[in-house]
Amino acid sequence: MCEYVIEGGKRLFGECSVQGAKNSALPILAAALLCDGKSVIYNCPDLLDVDATANILRHLGCSVSRNGHTVSVDSSEAMGNEIPEPLMREMRSSVIFLGAILAKNRKVRLSTPGGCEIGLRPIDLHLDAMRRLGAQITEEYGHIECTAPDGLKGTNITLSFPSVGATENIIIAASTAKGTTTVINAAREPEISDLADFLNGCGAKISGAGQGTVVIEGVKKLTGSSHSVITDRIVAATYMAATAITGGKVRLVNIIPAHLGPMIDLFEETGCKIKTDCRSVCIEAPSQLKSVKMIRTMPYPGFPTDIQAPVGAMLTKAKGTSVIIETIFENRFKYIGELIRFGAKVRVDGRMAVIEGVPALHGAKVKTSDLRGGAALIIAGLGAEGETVITDIKHIERGYESPEKTLSGLSGSIRRIDKNGSEESD
Ligand code: EPZ
């Protein structure tokens, strides 16, 4: 059992680079299954979720090798069409394999991906879209079986909600369908465009990704290629929030400022100075942050739900009262119960959190229950006086690559302790 031990109150200074995007790497690795031969994916973050995705690819018959941030996938021998329950449970977003397996093998069997800490996470939009593409679907005893014996056929699909995962499954499945598919009300996140760029590099014909309407002209086959994953905009904003709560000044390099749009506006509203150039962002925080009247999470290009918790933690020390409305997931305020242990003053009422800023937080022993809620606890610990211990850090390591190394490199005092005795880094 590992934990982070943080000595708070130290201002973050310096420069850091940001890892590749988890939410881009996962669908791209799943899509590699559909591409004949070998794909080489660069800038793949070293995360538990990437490990889980590689395990699923191996289970399906791919050979997967990894050299640092480069993951190679050869799908030549991949004939598998089932993801067993333990692998599905290891990572609920493995539903992203649905479209790739169905398109490749005309049959796929998954166990129903359970909900997770932040919500029920239904997949009805994914399944409805696969039916529109010609699949027959049976759901029984916690398993989903999709078959398309005659292959998938292009069609028009209008999503009732711009679901990121459903958009990705449609793009992947439709890329080798017979005919053209048009997706209306598609998700517009940058990770969607990155997936389309990878698939187009493999011979797909996808246009409009990142817009509200995506057109996929089916091709006979895709051939593996190489691709470098975009930088993780959520991790970048997390380290910006960490800088802000400590009153520090940090430059983040090799990032894509355009992907941080609504988040930059928010940091400026708290009184932070932000300077950007084509591949970096510099944030300089005031000694006292200002509160933010209202944050409402929305699909891209709105304020991202994934940065709600880190920003919520940052605002616990802002001067004044801030309000956050979480419109995407029904249970994404669980971290607030732990924030209160630091002395934060927060009230939650359904989808709304009201954060009354306090002059200081004190260190606490806290427990992580989900990925971004865990990042929020690191931020509170950095901004608190005294020592903080965070347990159950595996949740955090699903999406953040060695945060203790990045934050220590910025003068933060954070250690990763393996309770079996070894202290792994400072
Ligand atoms: C992706 O999840 C991300 N995960 C999430 O990041 C992110 O929070 C989310 O998109 C929104 O941006 C990955 O990319 C691996 P959705 P996804 O489908 O695809 C409802 C993180 O912290 N919905 O856009 O599951 C759903 O219940 C993770 O990195 C349906 O009702 O998100 C939710 O309310 C967390 N039916 C909303 O849509 C469906 O069939 C958004 O879900 C699908 C979704």
Residue nearest to atom 25 of ligand 1 (CA): 165
Whole-model pTM? 0.97
Listed in order, strand segments (DSSP E) in 75-223 are 82-83, 107-111, 136-140, 143-147, 156-158, 180-184, 205-207, 213-217, 222-223
Told to judge if 116 belongs to the known catalytic residues of this protein, a careful annotator would answer yes
For residue 76, the one-letter residue type is S
pLDDT at residue 82, rounded to an integer:
95
Asked if the 22-228 domain carries CATH number 3.65.10.10, the reply is yes
Domains 2-19+231-425 and 22-228 share a fold: yes
Task: Give the binding-site residues of ligand 1, using a 6 Å CB cut-off.
Answer: 22-23, 26, 93, 119, 121-126, 161, 163-166, 187, 305-306, 328-329, 371-372, 399
Residue among 16, 44, 116, 146 flagged as catalytic: 116
User: Which amino acid does the sequence have at 402?
Assistant: S
- Residue 383's contacts (CB-CB under 8 Å, 6 or more residues apart) are 8, 9, 245, 246, 313, 314, 316, 317, 361
Alpha-carbon 372 to chain mean position? 9
- Beta-sheet strand order (sheet of 107-111): 82-83, 107-111, 143-147, 136-140
Please give the distance, rounded to the nearest whole angstrom, from the Cα atom of residue 281 to the centre of ligand 1: 27
**What separation in Å is there between the alpha carbon of 165 and the centre of ligand 1?**
6
User: Tell me, what's the pLDDT at 142?
Assistant: 85
Instruction: Give 294 Cα–ligand 1 centroid separation in angstroms.
Output: 22
Q: How far is 396 from 390, CA to CA, in rounded Å? A: 10
Nearest CA to ligand 1 atom 22: 306
Which residue, by CA, sits nearest to atom 42 of ligand 1? 163
What does the pLDDT read at residue 307?
98
Inter-residue contact 73 to 38 (CB < 8 Å): yes
Of 370, 349, 345, the C-alpha closest to 358 is 345
Tell me: the pLDDT tens digits for 250-268? Answer: 999 999 999 999 899 999 9
**Which of 50, 164, 307, 396 to mutate to test ligand 1, by most ligand atoms within 8 A of the CB atom?**
164
The CATH H-level (homologous superfamily) assignment of domain 2-19+231-425 is: Enolpyruvate transferase domain (3.65.10.10)
Domain boundaries, the chain: 2-19+231-425, 22-228
Q: What pLDDT shows up at residue 141?
A: 84
Return all residues near 214 (Cβ < 8 A) that are at least 6 apart.
Answer: 167, 170, 171, 182, 183, 186, 192, 196, 206, 207, 208
How far is the centre of ligand 1, averaged over its atoms, from the C-alpha of 191 (Å)?
Answer: 12
Q: What is the pLDDT of residue 426?
A: 43
Q: Name the DSSP letter for residue 95.
A: G
Crossing angle of helices 124-132/98-105, nearest 10°? 20
Could you say which residues of the chain have pLDDT below 50? Answer: 425-426
